[in-house]
Structure 1
């Protein structure tokens, strides 16, 4: 019996962390905001009641004063939904409350909370206009009810201004925190997109490698098998055993080469955390001679001229794959005994690749467009080059690529 694994629970956030989370949260989208504001409105109404009862008996509210005081706290339930409307309703209740000479300290908390909400949820312009309006009404009431209360005017004005600026500061702080979170999320999305892009590029690279390898090898095997079958069917009584043996040996060599390259590709797929520079040796210009030799064995009359001393690994690999695919298309589509010319030379800081033949053009229809030409163009673009492929001026088919040598962009195969 397997022992029961102890369950671990995430530690509860501390009070300070919860307070900061509440401050950082957008008040307009906070969860359960109506319920929380209703509870706070009840608490503020209770505090106002206690302040009114503990004040002077001469300023204790009468029945109308109590009704106005408690009614002023009801709209606080929706203070975050409609802050300006709530402030207007509160002022409508509090203005006659103060005019009736009731306890002036009791409704101060509700007024300041609404002012803070207006400042924390609105623009600076709206906050300043609202503060000016509230101060104007307050100073007017104070002038009518207590003309000599200069200190009272300063005290009330100071609290109003303080809560307004506190709300503005909190609003800017929330915007700052939101911008930090947004930048972090944008950076995370960028990392994810970069990872997906790298995966897509790697899949495309592997698809190109497998296409070039399998198309080339299978085409050669098909040609060599046809040669053996032709020898067997031409004159069964006088078998050319040497030709048949050579064709079978060529098939075996092609299979061994293909198996080795497939194994290398699969090993790269199985490896974890392989860097782009650690994918193993790339095929290069020194392998073009083997491609020419293999094409000759398949029946093509190939002339080659490689006049390049050296090239960056990625550029050499791209040139190798382009020549490989071009010769594969010649063997497959150009007809019997095509004449092919392969040229590689350096000119104006670029490696020029040219493969021309005198056979028929490759068969590509909308229903079967193939991936050879697409793969060759992708090979060229992977190192910042270009490739043109199409019928030649004098018949046949030609492939021409320009691969910059001094502007290598990566190590793709």
Structure 2
């Protein structure tokens, strides 16, 4: 795609250069023919000055000021050397137009003034020369005005194109944002309506299986099927919610700690065990737990509170701990808000445990245990863990 666009741009530039060269040749031929059929004809110097001054127009896109200087000098020399001819002003008028279009209107006006002065001096002091000088002045004025108009028109077209592109990008962003919000809404609805019910079914089936084994009774196959099906349903539901929540912000707990410090909260981060990659849902759950713990500390602990964030990478579980020594009173049950409820739901969907409440010595504690076995480890880590277990068994 990029190569095709690059080739198209090169083709356009090549075509523009060929067009400018053809135009310069045509202008040179017109001026040369006019000089040849004029009074006294034209010599080699005349044709050389006309050729250089006219062919310079082919480079007006890259160097408009240089083209204006060369055309003005060459054609002014032709006027002084070969006589005052109005046709000799055509390359200078064209160069003044391109310079004004490029934004050099002062330089174009100055070159026009110099050429007109030389033209008037080279001619005889007669009414005919005065009239031709005034006519050329009108030509130069039109060239300057049309150059400025062309410059403003090109700027207007560029602004219009940019506004159209910006409007299209804004529409696409709005559509993507609405789609993301709808996915999150569906994920929350599924979570609220299904996770709790499936968790209850799985829990009751597990309790029934445990009691049957404890009493030495035969476990009904239907009960085992219910337990297995509920666990599979939870895993499928987590996968679905992961897909629907792809637009949720993610990050690392260390980044959250740095942001909290920048906001003025005294936070200390402790990492225990061997830090290693985790699956997306487990990493996101740890991120959200730390985020909610820091948010609660910032809101309720007080400005002088100290907060400790601890990540404990164990062999079978990831421990996440956020505690502060703030204003929470010991023994006072926490108020279950949206944040705590969301944390409990996340931890429950991963078969983990969560404890949140006031500390014995004051302050607040959030502690979660998220299992790593069969789901918490990244695929490569799970393979290494299984290989190590087999080696130990051998």
TM-score bin, normalised by smaller chain: 0.5 to 0.7
The alpha-carbon deviation at position 162 of structure 1 amounts to 0.8
State the alpha-carbon separation in 2 of the partners of residues 373 and 91 from structure 1.
71
Tell me how far apart the structure 1 counterparts of residues 25 and 287 of structure 2 sit (CA, whole Å): 76
Alignment of structure 1 residues 238-249 onto 2, 5 Å: none
1:266-306 Cα offsets, whole Å, 9 max, x none, are 9xx9xxxxxxxxxxxxxxxxxxxxxxxxxxxxxxxxxxxxx
Higher helix share: 2
What's 1:77 paired with? 58
Structure 1 pair 70/37, CA: closer, same or farther in 2 (3 Å)? same
Q: 2: CA distance between counterparts of 1:182 and 1:120?
A: 21
- Indicate how the Cα distance of structure 1 residues 205 and 397 shifts in structure 2: closer, same or farther if over 3 A, else same: farther
Name the CA distance, whole Å, in 1 between partners of 2:284 and 2:193. Answer: 15
The equivalent residue for 1:101 is 82
Matched, 1:225 2:205: yes
The answer to whether the 8 A contact 2:69-2:111 is kept is: no
Normalised by the size of structure 1, how large is the TM-score? 0.51
Equivalent residue, structure 1, for 2:124: 146
**Equivalent of 1:62 in 38, 43, 48:** 43
Q: Within the alignment, does 1:178 sit opposite 2:154 as a pair?
A: no
Distance 2:183 2:202 in 1: 27
Distance in 1 between residues matched to 2:40 and 2:169, nearest whole Å: 62
Task: Find the aligned partners of 1:387 and 1:221 in 2 and give their Cα distance.
Answer: 36
Distance 1:141 1:46, change over 3 A: closer
Displacement of 1:205 in angstroms is 3.1
Q: Which runs of 5+ in 2 are unaligned?
A: 1-11, 245-274, 293-298, 302-321, 340-394
Partner of 2:28: 45
Q: Give the Cα separation in 2 of the matches to 1:195 and 1:178.
A: 26
- Cα distance between partner residues in 1 of 2:333 and 2:99: 75
Matches within 5 A, 1:88-167: 88-102=69-83, 104-122=85-103, 126-148=104-126, 149-167=129-147
CA distance in 2, matches of 1:144, 1:179: 46
The aligned residue for residue 354 of structure 2 is: none
The residue correspondences of 1:245-394 to structure 2 (distance < 5 A) are 368=282, 371=285, 374=288, 393-394=329-330
- Cα distance in 2 between the residues matched to 1:115 and 1:41: 14
- 2:82 is paired with a residue of what secondary structure? coil
- Deviations, residues 365-413 of structure 1 (Å, cap 9, x unaligned): 99645649949x99xxxxxxx999x88744697454489xxxxxxxxxx
* Superposed CA offset, 1:229-261 (max 9, x none): 133123246x9x9xx9xx96xx69x97xx89xx
Deviations 1:41-87 (A, max 9, x none): 1122222233334x43x242122112211121121121111111111
1:52, 1:61 within 8 Å by CA — same for their partners in 2?
yes
CA contact (8 A) 1:115 1:160 kept: yes
- Are the aligned partners of 1:116 and 1:166 in contact in 2 as well (CA < 8 Å)? yes
Whole-Å Cα distance in 2 between the matches of residues 39 and 387 of structure 1? 79
Counterparts of 1:79 and 1:370 in 2: how far apart (Å)?
60
Q: Is the 8 A contact 1:387 1:400 kept in 2?
A: no
Q: Which runs of 4+ in 1 moved over 6 A?
A: none
Aligned length in residues: 257
Structure 1 residue aligned with 2:249:
none
Higher relative CO (CA 8 A, sep ≥ 6), structure 1 or 2?
1
1:197 maps to which of 162, 177, 180 = 177
- Identify the residue that residue 214 of structure 2 maps to in structure 1: 234
In structure 1, C-alpha distance between the alignment counterparts of 2:287 and 2:186, rounded to whole Å = 16
**Pairwise CA RMSD:** 4.4
Q: Which residue of 2 aligns with 1:33?
A: 16
Q: Secondary structure at the match of 1:100?
A: helix
Cα distance in 2 for partners of 1:63, 1:108 equals: 19
Match of 1:328? Answer: none
1:168 maps to: 148
**Residues 1:45 and 1:174: Cα distance change in structure 2 (over 3 Å):** same
Distance 1:137 1:152 in 2: 13
Q: Report how far residue 37 of structure 1 moved.
A: 1.1
Q: 1:174 to 1:59 in 2, by over 3 A?
A: farther
In structure 1, the gaps of 5 or more residues are 1-28, 270-364, 379-385, 404-413
